[in-house]
C-alpha cells in the first residue's frame, strides 16, 4: 500500500497532503486490473470511484462521439464523483491496464476520511475541474481552427512526415514536441496536427500510421522519451473528424515543473513568446523558471 500511496502522491490532487493525511486514505483505496477491451465504467453506472492510471492505456468515449486516450499518471472520473449523479462517457481498456481506485462515496464519510483531509482533496478536484472548464478544451476544434494560430494555439501539418523529402523525420517530430514543451512551460495551449499554417485541413493520412492507436502510441512514446513520462498527465490527446478529415488535438495544461526537450546529448528549454515557440538562452532559463514555477498559483 505504501508504494501505491507514494505513486498517488505524484498527482497534483494529492501532492498537497501530508504523509499522515495521505496514509489515512488507505482504507478507501484499492488497485484493479483491466484486460484489453474491458469496460472500466459506462454512462449508465453510478460514479462511485475516481481512478489513477498506473500502467497501460484507456480510452474515454464521450457522449458527443469524441474520444480521448488516457495514459499512466492521469486521474479520471472526478466529474462523476463530484456530481454524484452520472458519468460523462464510457472508459474502456485499449490494453492491459492497472489503476488505483479511490472510493468517492467513502471520501465524503467522516468515519473513513477526516473532513479536513476530504476538504483538501475536494478543493484540489474543484480547481482541476474549474481549470478544465476555463481551458480551450471546451472550445470545439473546428472553432479553434477557424480562429487561427495564436499565443495559445499552433498548427502542424504532420506529426512525423517531412512533406518536402517525403519521409519520416525526427526534426518534424521535434517541432511538435517543442510546442508541447513550450505550452507546458507557459500557460498551456493547444497543438493541432493535420492542419496547415493557414488553417487548411490536411488530415493525418500523410503520417502513414496503420491506425489511430498506432499514432497515439507513437506520440506517447516520443513524449516519454524526449520530454519525460511525468509530463503525460499534463497532456490530453484526442482525434476528431472535421468535414471528412481526421485531426489530432493535443491540449497542454501548465506543468508544475520545468519541461525540457532532449535532442541527442542536449536539453532545450522552450517557452511561448507571443504566437511563437522560443528556445530560451541558458543565461535566462534560471530567471524564467524562478518567476514561472515559484508562482504556479498565478497561472
Query: For residue 238, which of 198, 192, 207, 199 has the smallest C-alpha distance?
Result: 192
pLDDT at 208: 94
pLDDT at 298: 42
Structural domains in the chain, sorted by start = 2-134 (2.60.120.10), 138-298 (3.30.950.30)
Average pLDDT on 28-47 reads: 91
pLDDT at position 136 over 70:
no
pLDDT at 135: 55
Cα–Cα distance between 268 and 262 in angstroms, integer? Answer: 6
> Coil, helix or strand for 166?
coil
Cα–Cα distance between 185 and 200 in angstroms, integer? Answer: 28
pLDDT at 130: 72
Average pLDDT on 217-241 reads: 92
Top-confidence residue, 174 or 69? 174
Q: What is the mean pLDDT of the chain?
A: 89
User: Residue 84 corresponds to which cell in the numbers above?
Assistant: 454524484
* pLDDT interval class at 65 (50, 70, 90): low
pLDDT at 98: 96
Crossing angle between the packed helical segments 212-226 and 170-185, to the nearest 10 degrees: 70
Other Cβ atoms less than 10 A from the Cβ of 207: the count is 20
To which H or E segment does residue 5 belong?
helix 2-8
pLDDT at position 170 over 50:
yes
pLDDT at 138: 57
pLDDT at 192: 97
Backbone angles phi, psi at 59, to 5 degrees: -130, 130
pLDDT at 83: 73
pLDDT at position 63 over 90:
no
* 3-state per-residue secondary structure call for 39-63: EEECCCCCCCEEEEEEECCEEEEEC
The alpha helices in 84-233, defined as continuous H runs, are 104-107, 115-134, 141-147, 170-185, 212-226
Q: Poorest-confidence range of 87-91, 190-194, 228-232? A: 87-91
The pTM of the full predicted model, rounded to 2 decimals, is 0.63
Do β-strands 39-41 and 89-93 pair in parallel, antiparallel, or remain unpaired? antiparallel
pLDDT at position 62 over 80:
no
pLDDT in tens, 77-108: 888 888 776 787 899 999 999 999 999 889 98
Cα–Cα distance between 267 and 288 in angstroms, integer? Answer: 16
Backbone angles phi, psi at 131, to 5 degrees: -60, -35
pLDDT at position 29 over 90:
yes
> CA 17 → CA 6, 22, 233, distances in Å?
11, 6, 19
pLDDT at 289: 93
Average pLDDT on 241-245 reads: 89
Cα–Cα distance between 220 and 19 in angstroms, integer? Answer: 31
Average pLDDT on 114-125 reads: 91
Dihedral-angle region of residue 97 (phi above 0 means left; psi in -120 to 50 means alpha; beta otherwise): beta
pLDDT at position 294 over 90:
no
pLDDT at 297: 44
CB 159 within 8 A of CB 207: yes
Average pLDDT on 211-237 reads: 92
* pLDDT interval class at 10 (50, 70, 90): confident
pLDDT at position 291 over 50:
yes
> CA 291 → CA 112, 114, 171, 180, distances in Å?
40, 35, 30, 20
Percent of the chain with pLDDT over 90: 61
Average pLDDT on 124-153 reads: 78
Cα–Cα distance between 22 and 201 in angstroms, integer? Answer: 47
Amino acid at each position: 500500500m505504501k508504494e501505491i500511496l507514494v505513486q498517488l502522491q505524484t498527482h497534483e490532487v494529492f501532492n498537497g497532503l501530508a504523509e499522515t493525511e495521505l496514509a489515512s486514505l488507505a482504507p478507501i483505496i484499492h488497485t484493479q486490473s483491466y484486460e484489453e477491451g474491458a469496460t472500466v465504467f459506462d454512462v449508465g453506472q453510478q460514479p462511485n470511484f475516481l481512478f489513477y492510471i498506473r500502467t497501460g492505456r484507456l480510452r474515454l468515449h464521450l457522449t458527443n462521439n469524441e474520444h480521448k486516450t488516457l495514459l499512466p499518471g492521469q486521474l479520471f472520473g472526478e466529474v462523476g464523483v463530484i456530481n454524484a449523479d452520472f458519468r460523462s462517457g464510457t472508459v474502456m481498456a485499449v490494453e492491459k491496464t492497472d489503476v488505483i481506485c479511490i472510493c468517492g462515496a467513502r471520501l465524503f464519510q467522516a468515519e473513513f476520511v477526516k473532513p479536513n483531509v476530504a476538504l483538501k482533496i475536494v478543493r484540489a478536484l474543484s480547481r482541476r475541474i474549474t481549470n478544465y472548464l476555463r481551458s480551450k478544451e471546451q472550445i470545439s476544434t473546428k472553432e479553434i481552427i477557424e480562429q487561427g494560430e495564436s499565443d495559445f494555439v499552433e498548427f502542424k501539418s504532420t506529426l512525423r512526415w517531412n512533406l518536402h523529402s517525403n519521409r519520416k523525420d525526427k526534426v518534424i517530430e521535434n517541432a511538435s514536441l517543442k510546442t508541447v514543451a513550450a505550452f507546458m512551460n507557459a500557460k498551456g495551449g493547444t497543438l493541432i496536427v493535420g492542419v496547415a499554417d493557414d488553417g487548411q485541413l490536411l488530415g493525418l493520412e500523410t503520417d502513414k500510421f496503420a491506425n489511430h492507436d498506432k499514432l497515439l502510441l507513437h506520440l506517447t512514446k516520443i513524449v516519454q522519451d524526449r520530454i519525460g513520462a511525468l509530463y503525460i498527465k499534463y497532456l490530453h490527446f484526442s482525434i476528431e473528424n472535421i468535414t471528412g478529415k481526421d485531426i489530432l488535438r493535443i491540449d497542454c495544461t501548465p506543468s508544475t515543473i520545468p519541461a525540457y526537450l532532449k535532442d541527442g546529448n542536449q536539453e532545450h528549454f522552450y517557452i511561448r513568446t507571443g504566437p511563437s515557440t522560443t528556445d530560451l538562452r541558458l543565461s535566462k532559463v534560471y530567471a524564467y523558471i524562478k518567476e514561472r514555477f515559484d508562482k504556479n498559483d498565478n497561472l
